[in-house]
Structure 1
Amino acid sequence: MERRKLGSLEVSALGLGCMGMAGVNGMAAMYGTVDRAEAIATLHRALEIGMDFLDTAEVYGPYINEELLGEALADRRDKAIIATKFGFNIVDGKTLGVNSRPEHIRAVCEASLKRLRTDYIDLFYQHRVDPNVPIEDVVGTMADLKREGKIRAIGLSEAGIETLRRAHATHPIDALQSEWSLWERTIEQDILPVVRELGIGFVPYSPLGRGFLAGTAVRAEELPDSDYRKNDPRYQGGNFDANMKAVEAVGQVAARHGVTKAQVAIGWLLAQGPDVVPIPGCKRRATLEDTAAAAALKLSAADLTELDAAAPIGATAGERYGSAAMMRMVRL
């Protein structure tokens, strides 16, 4: 698979978002349950095909996702590039607000290292900006961890322009992770130009619009209560119908190329620049194989123009999140 740069880090052009694997052994999770053995087999297969950039976080589970990766990678750590995240207070298994105090960052780093069964983290992200802690203190602590060899690269997630500039002035930031796809393009207006000005790599999460662009989505009303998308405004009522127009356009391009809708949606992101490394989520090997094939898809200029026109910036119906609290944590 093609290699790309995220600041100082070289990774596979496509990463694997592991959050969905938090639902192992029948446990409830944002995207349903998953079989533990299949999840581990999927991680192993990702490495076999050169998809070595694996994304997790302490809050996924919480803790379960990191533990799963630690188990799966115990005998092949040198083949994987692991990204994990800190930034929340986790009390009795529940997330209670943000926390990026320096002492908390260090504590999370040590705990993540143990769960991942490793002595270094390749990319350590601040999961959400903590408005109560100056970003200079956050990045300064991460820079100290880097000097100590506990992390290799520094990342932020859902940070705003001012925060990005201040952070980068403290220590070079390698990657910014934020939502980006054909149905969530607002970062193109302001965040993306600054990221590129500063030489920061971009890691789009939810590159399929939480599965919507794959063409297999069902209405929120039909999803089980345990599924995160049950409360996603974009999956509900008239929003669902309006957003299917983008899926239809993706389907037309897919039909011309003889590929799946998911491959086209991911291919569109890959075509946005060599500094873009999407992290689609997969829980099964079959899905992984289909997803990975997007790395070989070459969309034409006409294809890209057609997709841009069908899903322009700001055209998706419904808010990104169904929770005002979640919306308040982005672009800070």
Structure 2
Amino acid sequence: MGGTPLRTTALGGTGMEITRVGVGAWAIGGGGWDWGWGGQDDDDSIAAIHRALDLGVNWIDTAAQYGFGHSEEVVGRAIAGRPDRPWVFTKCGQPEGPGRTTTHSLRRDSIRRELEGSLTRLGVDAIDLYQIHFPIPDEDLEEGWATLAEVRDEGLVRHIGLSNVDVSQIRRAQGIAPVETLQPQYSLIARDVEDGVLPAAAADGIGVIVYSPMGSGMLSGGMTRERIAGLPDDDWRRGDARFREPRLSEHLALVDRLATVAARHDVTPGAVAVAWTLRNPAVDGAITGFRRPAQVDPIVAAAGLDLTDEDLATIAGTR
């Protein structure tokens, strides 16, 4: 890799030194399922992953749910034979149901079936970080977390974490086995975790990787009313409140402010949005999705972007 090495940071107490941005593989799961992003070319996905690895990105976050195995298969193809194989993080707890819809299970036998499938599709001997995707059903959280601790002790996964949980659920899990990492949604338009989850993670030394730092593309700088209107029918964002009025106008105004900051640093609005999440001292890394190689460099730039007080004021609309 040429140029300046990407900044890294310790992911909690896992011992992994991760780049400040990682590859998010949700969209590369393709279309035709209930949380898809529309059709996706697998060769584009692999080329984008390779470009990120060439730039020094050292981790990929995926899930068995993304295309019900398809994202993991693509990731497995992308990392096969790479001398710089990244750490691979994936998730469990949302197996496929009828009609390619998402169901929920944290039962031991279900998680073990999911894990076996993930290991096969990814082509690895052990998952570097295995996470409960959602704590649903809540009453089975303890069984699910005990299962993750069990498969870690067996060497099938190296580290375990939780995604989309609140502080009380973190505490319940900690009563069984230490929580090594958290993966909450966090962006300029999704800030709920600032009040509880992120402070709890910081206090307990739990590693944090945040997802959707660009608001699922809303803050990328490439989203317009016309593009939103033209999203394919199987893109879940068509029905998301962040992409509809009255919030849409507020979010597009925010993107304009991000563009002002981006121009100061010769970067994209999306890179500014990602860098904003990385300013929080509890956040170790941000998951960034790429669907084509050309999208990679502009977003990876966020790893080295330092926002000034003036930038923050501009983003907040106070200057």
TM value normalised by structure 2: 0.90
What does residue range 118-133 of structure 1 map to in structure 2 within 5 Å? 118-131=124-137, 133=139
Indicate conservation of the 8 Å contact 1:27/1:33, yes or no: no
CA pair 253-35 structure 1, distance change in 2 beyond 3 A: same
CA pair 190-27 structure 1, distance change in 2 beyond 3 A: closer
Deviation at 1:183, TM superposition (A): 1.0
Paired residues, what number? 309
Indicate conservation of the 8 Å contact 2:199/2:282, yes or no: no
CA pair 40-113 structure 1, distance change in 2 beyond 3 A: same
1:232 is aligned with what amino acid?
D
Indicate conservation of the 8 Å contact 1:23/1:29, yes or no: no
Deviation at 1:230, TM superposition (A): 0.8
CA pair 132-161 structure 1, distance change in 2 beyond 3 A: closer
Uncovered stretches (5+) of structure 2, i.e. residues with no partner: 1-5
Query: Which of 4, 10, 19 is residue 9 of structure 2 equivalent to?
Result: 4
Query: Which of 178, 182, 186 is residue 184 of structure 2 equivalent to?
Result: 178
- For 1:322, the equivalent position in structure 2 comes to none
What does residue range 1-332 of structure 1 map to in structure 2 within 5 Å? 1-7=6-12, 8=14, 9-23=16-30, 30-76=36-82, 79-92=85-98, 94-131=100-137, 133-219=139-225, 220-273=228-281, 275-308=283-316
1:282 is aligned with what amino acid?
F
1:170 is aligned with what amino acid?
I
Write the distance in 1 (CA, Å) between the matches of 2:137 and 2:40.
35
Uncovered stretches (5+) of structure 1, i.e. residues with no partner: 311-332
1:12 is aligned with what amino acid?
T
Write the distance in 1 (CA, Å) between the matches of 2:289 and 2:240.
17
Indicate conservation of the 8 Å contact 2:105/2:137, yes or no: no
- For 2:3, the equivalent position in structure 1 comes to none
TM value normalised by structure 1: 0.87
Indicate conservation of the 8 Å contact 1:254/1:260, yes or no: yes
Indicate conservation of the 8 Å contact 2:53/2:84, yes or no: no
Indicate conservation of the 8 Å contact 1:17/1:55, yes or no: yes
SS of equivalent residue, structure 1 residue 237: coil
1:50 is aligned with what amino acid?
G
Structure 1 window deviating more from structure 2 (75-84 vs 40-49): it is 75-84
Deviation at 1:276, TM superposition (A): 2.5
Indicate conservation of the 8 Å contact 2:257/2:317, yes or no: no
Indicate conservation of the 8 Å contact 1:42/1:288, yes or no: yes
Structure 1 window deviating more from structure 2 (118-127 vs 263-272): it is 263-272
Write the distance in 2 (CA, Å) between the matches of 1:81 and 1:212.
27
CA pair 133-76 structure 1, distance change in 2 beyond 3 A: farther
Write the distance in 2 (CA, Å) between the matches of 1:309 and 1:193.
25
Deviation at 1:50, TM superposition (A): 1.2
Indicate conservation of the 8 Å contact 2:201/2:282, yes or no: no
Deviation at 1:59, TM superposition (A): 0.8
Indicate conservation of the 8 Å contact 1:221/1:236, yes or no: no
Write the distance in 2 (CA, Å) between the matches of 1:92 and 1:63.
15
Write the distance in 1 (CA, Å) between the matches of 2:34 and 2:179.
34
Once the two structures are superposed, what CA deviation does each residue of 1:142-194 show, in whole Å capped at 9, x if it has no partner? 11111111101111110111110121232221211111011111110121111
CA pair 238-91 structure 1, distance change in 2 beyond 3 A: closer
Structure 1 window deviating more from structure 2 (160-169 vs 68-77): it is 68-77
Write the distance in 2 (CA, Å) between the matches of 1:294 and 1:115.
30
CA pair 27-76 structure 1, distance change in 2 beyond 3 A: farther
SS of equivalent residue, structure 1 residue 279: strand
Indicate conservation of the 8 Å contact 1:87/1:128, yes or no: yes
Deviation at 1:29, TM superposition (A): 7.1
